[in-house]
Structure 1
Amino acid sequence: MDKKKIKKYIVFILGSFIMGVGIGLCNFANLGVDPMSVLVLGTYQRLHVSFGMMNLLISLLQLLIAYLLDKKNVTIATLLAMIFVSVGIDTFGLLHLSEALSVFPFDYLWLLGGIAVYCFGIALSQLPHCGYTSYDGVIFGLQKYTNFSYHTIRWGIDLTFLVSGILLKGTAGIGTLMILLLAGRLIEIFYELLEKYVGGTLWH
């Protein structure tokens, strides 16, 4: 593997790790999980499996759909993302922050900060174009067959997850709605900034 490709994978892994830290921040705010987790919450008890197993099954389903839509979007990076997002979440958990820090109005600051960090991590993971998370693989795969923007497709998928999860008795909160409304466009903004200021020189 040449140095350029190694650098791309390092950036992708860093983006995945930052994404996980952002998820940890959002979870700490305790204002609602992301839309996909609402679906996981709504299905895992009904299927009599663990939360982690249900999350894995949905992720694997996304992986399969992403591969069927465009197999070029699914690489070893896709599998690495699953690992390093989890590492990022666990790393934030190691801070053992007091729950007293997540009371109103600080809980909303944690949430907004978490959404920003999460979206920046996703944008950074997209920058190398060496593969994508399973979620992004689905989005970019659908873009091949539609004229819709990234944030429109992501909004549609997140809304589908949210509505399905609620119908299956999954729980959501104000944080869930904020992630739904803000994430897609924020990712686009961060990606455009990264591409403009570092994308042209990063791989040299």
Structure 2
Amino acid sequence: MAVRVLGDTHALGRRLPQLVVGLAVYGASMALMLRSGLGLDPWDVFHQGLQRSIGLSVGAWVTICGALVLLLWIPMRQRPGVGTVANVAMIGAAMDLTLRLFDTPDGLPARIALMVGAILLNGLATGLYIGARLGPGPRDGLMTGLHRRTGRSLRLVRTGIEVTVLVAGILLGGTAGVGTVAYALAIGPLAQVFLPWCTVPGPAETSPQTPRKG
């Protein structure tokens, strides 16, 4: 499976560091949400369920599942970017490192605050790594690949994938709760807010004829 650098290379000096920071913050935010104990996003419910049923760390399952999902790109003839491979390699490791540094806080108010902060961080991280324009995450690529292959809407495909992994995760012992609902409602609007701030402009946006805004 060939790996490509997507888009122009003129801003690669910003794009690579932004990608690394975005993926590290993404993994950390997932760990903080887990430590809140109030529910996880659907994929992490699944990862936690695997950890509780089979063993290994949650971060290890994030990496393993990411790699397995990436293999599903082959029959769909999708080509990963540098960011796709980095997503598989970095997020689980960042999650496990953060889990070693933080414990679940005492008291419901502190746990709620941790959950809210984790969702906000996740929105920022999403804007950072997508805005680097170095390739989608493996799960996002699965969604777009299935959309292209089946002709179904992106919303329907994404909902089908996330409901499937959520139900499987719950059956395996993963934690779903108010945090799961809060994440589902908030992550789209948050990504929409952060993405314009974080997207690295292309050549047309930085050429002398087209001044950059902001």
Could you state the TM-score of these two structures normalised by the residue count of structure 1?
Answer: 0.75
- Count the aligned residue pairs: 197
CA positional deviation for 1:95? 4.8
Return the offset for 1:114: 0.6
Q: List runs of 5+ in structure 2 lacking aligned partners.
A: 207-214
- The structure richer in helix per residue is 1
User: Would the aligned equivalents of 1:29 and 1:108 in 2 still touch at CA under 8 Å?
Assistant: yes
Q: Deviations over 1:116-145 (max 9, x none)?
A: 111221222111321122122223334545
1:139 and 2:146 aligned: no
3-state secondary structure, aligned to 2:72 = helix
Structure-1 residue corresponding to 2:56 = 50
Shift of 1:175: 1.4
1:8 aligns with 2:15: yes
Partner of 1:114: 118
| Equivalent residues in 2 for 1:163-174, closer than 5 Å | 163-174=167-178
Q: 1:172 to 1:45 in 2, by over 3 A?
A: same
Read off the aligned partner of 1:75 and give its amino acid letter.
G
How far off its partner does 1:97 sit?
A: 5.9
State TM-score, norm by structure 2.
0.72
Go from structure 1 to structure 2 and tell me whether the alpha carbon gap of 1:128 and 1:40 turns closer, same or farther (over 3 Å shift).
closer
Q: Which residue of 1 aligns with 2:185?
A: 181
State percent identity of aligned pairs. 23
Tell me, yes or no, if structure 1 residue 81 matches structure 2 residue 87: yes
User: C-alpha distance in 1, partners of 2:140/2:153?
Assistant: 14
2:109 counterpart letter in structure 1: P
Amino acid at match of 1:176: T
Residue matched to 2:67: 60
Secondary structure at the counterpart of residue 33 of structure 1: coil
d(CA) in 1 for partners of 2:40 and 2:12? 34
1:119–1:110 distance in 2 versus 1, CA, 3 Å: same
Query: Do the aligned partners of 2:29 and 2:118 also contact (CA within 8 Å) in 1?
Result: yes
- 1:192 Cα shift? 4.1
Q: Distance in 1 between matches of 2:201 and 2:56?
A: 40
**RMSD after superposition:** 3.3
What is the aligned partner in structure 1 of residue 40 from structure 2? 33
Match of 1:148 in 2: 153
Question: Relative to structure 1, is the Cα distance of residues 125 and 66 closer, same or farther in structure 2, using a 3 angstrom cutoff?
Answer: farther
Closer, same or farther in 2 for the Cα pair 1:3/1:160, shift >3 Å? same
1:159 to 163, 177, 182: 163
Closer, same or farther: CA 187–141 of 1 in aligned 2, 3 Å: farther
